Structure 1
Amino acid sequence: MIIMKKITNILNRLLKGIPAVKEQSRINNDIEELSLPEILPHKEICKEKKVVHFSAFNYGNAGDVILPINVKDSIEYGLDYEYDWRSIHAHKYVDDKIVELANSSNGIIIGGGGLFLKDTNPNNNSGWQWNCSVDQLKKINVPIALFAVGYNRFRNQADFEPVFKEHLNILAEKSTFLGLRNYGSIEMIKNYLHPENFEKLRYQPCPTTIISMLYPDNVNIVKRNSEEKFIALNCAFDRTQLRFGEKIGNILTSIAKVVKVLSKDYKIKYYSHMPSDNYFIPFLDSFGIKYELMHIKTPIEIIEEYSKPSLVIGMRGHSQMIPFGCKTPILSIISHEKMGWFLKDINRSEWGSEVTNPDFENDLLEKAIYLLNNKNIVIEDITNIQETFFNITMDNVSEIRKIYDL
């Protein structure tokens, strides 16, 4: 009775919608160097080679914790030194001091992550998360590249403000390339670009998808020593009305029913990327499912924990891409187009289940059982796809190094 009352209260709140997380109130406009945690051993810094990096550095969301480091390590892959990076939050207004800092560098990297979103950092300067006005953008005179940025607009979400189109086209004209993390994003961004700027669009997979190639020792050691048989689960609750609509209760109940069946043969761990993910916990409790709640926070923990499961059933983009990068089988719960776009890019749509499917529950269960029963084949499949992603990434990195004189 207590659990059901809790579920009812949660559903009522979710139906009203959880507002987007807005971070600008915590970001001042002093130039500050964000200190990134490291995964690889520190190397000597080459002070003559400077890079200014704008990203959604976030220590409350597991995906955004590890992603900026993966970007840096991809661009420095194979070097015996590090570039001199200046890390600036994408939400910080790009004032004259930041423009001056950028213009004294070899170039700018923006990304990765779903930065093409209007409501996480609402502003009239660009219309998306990089808070650089058109006038300030015109003052930048060094190379710029987007690296694994995503078009993150939700289903039925209001379109971008008019300034977005103007800003995007000026950015394209000034950029080395606009590296987007899936072909779905590329197609959507074409709707805002002038045709003559299409040539600047470039496919750049999210570097989280090649984690095992960037950090092979971290992944391989865990896989050799991990004997526990379990399924990891993650659900997302930002913008719930856009994700689920009025059928949110049915969808979440279906997920819990599937997990209940799978829990007969596999231990369940719930991977929480951020506090709002925990809204699913009462659904697990209501079905009497035994589970372990995991809060994964540091980059090393993220790699280790996503290298262990037999299968990850995930709703967040990075609960899809990080385990894939760790050579762990994935089953994506598709409540946002980006999840399907990734699977389409790798020609593995069968690794996802669409929440709008009238037979969602059975579909999710059947696909989970298939992936668990064919784990080794799936891992081999992931390994081959990763090699393609790695080669694409290194080609793009080579171009950046050449144009930036790095």
Structure 2
Amino acid sequence: MDMRKLKILQLASFEGNIGDNANHCGTRSTLAKNLGVELEFTNLEIREFYWKQRKFDDQFAELANQHDLVMIGGGNYFEMWVENSCTGTSIDISIDLLKKINTPIVFYALGCDPGQGVSEQNVSKFRDFLDYVLSLPQFLVSVRNDGSWDSVNQYIGKKYAERIYRVPDGGFFTQVENYFHPELPLGKQVVAVNIAGDMLDVRFKLDGISSKRIRYEEFIIDFSQFVNDSLESNSELHFIFIPHIFRDIGVVSDILNAVNDSYRRNRITMAPYLHGKGAQEYIFDLYRKCDLVLGMRFHANVCPIGFNVPTIGLVNYIQIDNLYRELDLSERSVHVNEAGFSHKLNDMTRASLKNKEDIVKKYKEINMGLQQKINFFHKVMAEWINC
């Protein structure tokens, strides 16, 4: 193989979620640097397979064989709730089809979280799939650092997890240009807020076990009260709401409807809804220039941490809880689907703005470790490709 140039077919999400774009940007820049070769990517949108516009068939195998490497990921494609998939996951590629592909395939930093459910049938199908790909040198399997390795270990088995690499998500290494942002007021302390508007039935599910759990409507009341209280107690504070997908906008609207009108008009702004290649630079440069980020989505936490910007994880989905646990930052997260969260969030926000330098120092140490981990995995990839 000519290692001066590598033709890569990447199967992933490229449209619809700004976090995915940041992930790919960071992955590709670090991969190019660590492999020391020119990378030529062909983008293959995974949503086209969800929408049945494409199929995992002979045509897909033929396309894969026209490249030097197939990279599947990153993304949450190893979740085990997809009932009609032959693997039990979003990667609905049969073993018979894999046998028709001669190109090496890396499953790159994939998510495997149980947040939307796990069935025994899918566990069995996924185990069969891993039995095949882990037995051959043609395949390299890795999951991202959001609790996915622990999920494989718990549901699939230790002997499988021990053969799967755990690597940092590409979003930690995303790069952005410098932009002018009219959303940013001069001379203010700015808090960026990302609220997720998808899977609300999962995020605010009353589990019947914990009496602390609250409904979506209660969250809206409590979060808007947190905004009001924060702005009232700190005249230098400004909030920016940042949507990643269109569903986020509806939740932001619900919150703003319950916020003091004078604050809505003078001390709160909202970033534009952008998507697609390159758009991530404007949005994540905005995150980079804030004093604090309150993030509910995965990359609303990952990318600011990578920028050494203090964050507070807004937890109502297991993935964010696991992310902060893996980074040894659990104390920097708040469960916003539990009663009384607004008081804790208010205290953490004040303390974070006051102790910003200490948090930045800790994040720099974490990012040094993440850089070492991605460098090691890319070394493994380089040796694997050469073989």
**The TM-score by the shorter chain falls in which range?**
0.7 to 0.9
Partner SS, residue 126 of structure 1 = coil
Taking a change above 3 Å as real, the CA distance of residues 52 and 202 of structure 1, as seen in their structure-2 partners, is same
Task: Give 1:267's aligned residue.
Answer: 238
For 1:57, which of 11, 14, 21 is the aligned residue?
14
Report deviation, 1:380.
1.4
Q: Does 1:77 align with 2:33?
A: yes
**Aligned residue identity for 2:220:** L
CA distance in 2, matches of 1:351, 1:304: 22
Taking a change above 3 Å as real, the CA distance of residues 342 and 196 of structure 1, as seen in their structure-2 partners, is closer
Q: 1:135-146 alignment to 2 at 5 Å?
A: 135-146=96-107
Task: Give 1:286's aligned residue.
Answer: 258
Report deviation, 1:176.
4.6
Report deviation, 1:50.
1.9
Taking a change above 3 Å as real, the CA distance of residues 317 and 395 of structure 1, as seen in their structure-2 partners, is same
Task: Give 2:351's aligned residue.
Answer: 370
**Aligned residue identity for 2:22:** I
* Larger CA deviation: 241-250 vs 97-106: 97-106
Q: Does 1:355 align with 2:327?
A: no
Taking a change above 3 Å as real, the CA distance of residues 156 and 94 of structure 1, as seen in their structure-2 partners, is closer
Name structure 1 gaps, 5 residues minimum: 1-44
| Aligned residues between the structures | 354
CA distance in 1, matches of 2:255, 2:19: 24
Q: Does 1:231 align with 2:194?
A: no
Task: Give 1:35's aligned residue.
Answer: none
CA distance in 1, matches of 2:139, 2:55: 22
**Aligned residue identity for 1:200:** R
Taking a change above 3 Å as real, the CA distance of residues 69 and 86 of structure 1, as seen in their structure-2 partners, is same
For 1:250, which of 212, 218, 228 is the aligned residue?
218
Query: Cα RMSD over matched residues?
Result: 2.9
**Aligned residue identity for 1:164:** F
**Aligned residue identity for 1:293:** M
Report deviation, 1:382.
0.9
CA distance in 2, matches of 1:368, 1:157: 35
Q: Does 1:277 align with 2:248?
A: yes
Task: Give 1:97's aligned residue.
Answer: 59
Report deviation, 1:88.
1.5
Taking a change above 3 Å as real, the CA distance of residues 165 and 112 of structure 1, as seen in their structure-2 partners, is same
TM-score (norm 1): 0.78
Q: Deviations over 1:147-201 (max 9, x none)?
A: 2211233265766735333223323334654221126211111245355433321
Task: Give 2:22's aligned residue.
Answer: 66
Task: Give 2:210's aligned residue.
Answer: none
% identical equivalent positions: 20
**Aligned residue identity for 1:262:** S
Decide whether the 8 Å contact of 1:46 with 1:83 is kept in 2. no
Q: Does 1:189 align with 2:152?
A: yes
* Larger CA deviation: 248-257 vs 136-145: 136-145
Report deviation, 1:346.
1.4
CA distance in 2, matches of 1:197, 1:183: 17
**Aligned residue identity for 2:141:** L
Taking a change above 3 Å as real, the CA distance of residues 80 and 137 of structure 1, as seen in their structure-2 partners, is closer
The 4+ residue runs of structure 1 with deviation greater than 4 A are 45-48, 78-81, 155-160, 219-222, 225-228
**Aligned residue identity for 2:364:** T
TM-score (norm 2): 0.82
Decide whether the 8 Å contact of 1:270 with 1:292 is kept in 2. yes
Report deviation, 1:131.
3.1
Q: Deviations over 1:247-282 (max 9, x none)?
A: 221122212211222223311111011111012222
Decide whether the 8 Å contact of 2:146 with 2:320 is kept in 1. no
CA distance in 2, matches of 1:334, 1:159: 27
CA distance in 2, matches of 1:382, 1:150: 22
**Aligned residue identity for 1:283:** I
CA distance in 1, matches of 2:118, 2:199: 9
Partner SS, residue 233 of structure 1 = strand
